[in-house]
Amino acid sequence: MLSGLAKFILGFFLAIAVLIGGGAAIALYFMNRTGIPPAKPVYSNDSPSVKAQAPKATEPGSKSNLTPGTKAESSPSSTSAPTESPKATPSPKPLPSGAYRGRVNWAEGLSLRSQPNQQAEKIGGVGFNQKIIILEESADKGWQKIRLEGSEQEGWVKAGNTEKLDEQ
């Protein structure tokens, strides 16, 4: 009888230990899975819009870069071309009245929207430190209409995420 009682108590504590250990292992598993941040999504209009503009800046200078087989090969050399393009673009095209040059100071970049509100369609993106032209502000001063420098793409971004560039 004493042996049966000892087996029962030992079995009970062993079952409790297995349940607690299993629960702790499952809890640690899920806590570790939620602690890993997901990969940043890459949208189809993020990087290609910037890369698509770079070859356009080099097209007038060299027609040999326009062949389909050399577009991928010319993209590394086009990284220096965008620095030349913004310098050339502002001189022929003066800024509209009330507009000024600026740059994006939000580290994650901005979403370019078709209208000045959060529910509006996203029409593109603007990267960190990218130069822009601020055309106007919304009536409530919460949004700014911008144009990407070296491009004709315009849209609205949340105000306060850009800074005015001092030009001399």
Provide the domain count of the chain. Answer: 1
Residue 43 lies in a domain: no
Q: How far apart are the two ends of the chain, measured CA to CA in Å?
A: 99
List the 143-148 sheet strands across, edge first: 122-126, 110-113, 154-158, 143-148, 131-137, 100-104, 162-164
Residue 40 lies in a domain: no
Maximum C-alpha span of the chain: 103
Q: What pLDDT does 33 receive?
A: 83
Q: Which of 152, 162, 151 is nearest to 110 (CA)?
A: 162
Residue 80 lies in a domain: no
Do the Cβ atoms of 83 and 62 come closer than 8 Å? Answer: no
**CATH number reported for the structural domain that contains residue 124 in this entry:** 2.30.30.40
Q: How confident is the model at residue 44 (pLDDT cuts 50, 70, 90)?
A: confident
The boundaries of the domain holding residue 112 are 95-168
pLDDT, tens digit, 9 for 90 and up, residues 7-33: 999 999 999 999 999 999 999 998 888
pLDDT, tens digit, 9 for 90 and up, residues 57-106: 444 444 444 444 444 444 444 444 444 444 444 444 677 788 889 999 88
Residue 73 lies in a domain: no
Q: How many CB atoms lie within 10 A of CB 10?
A: 10
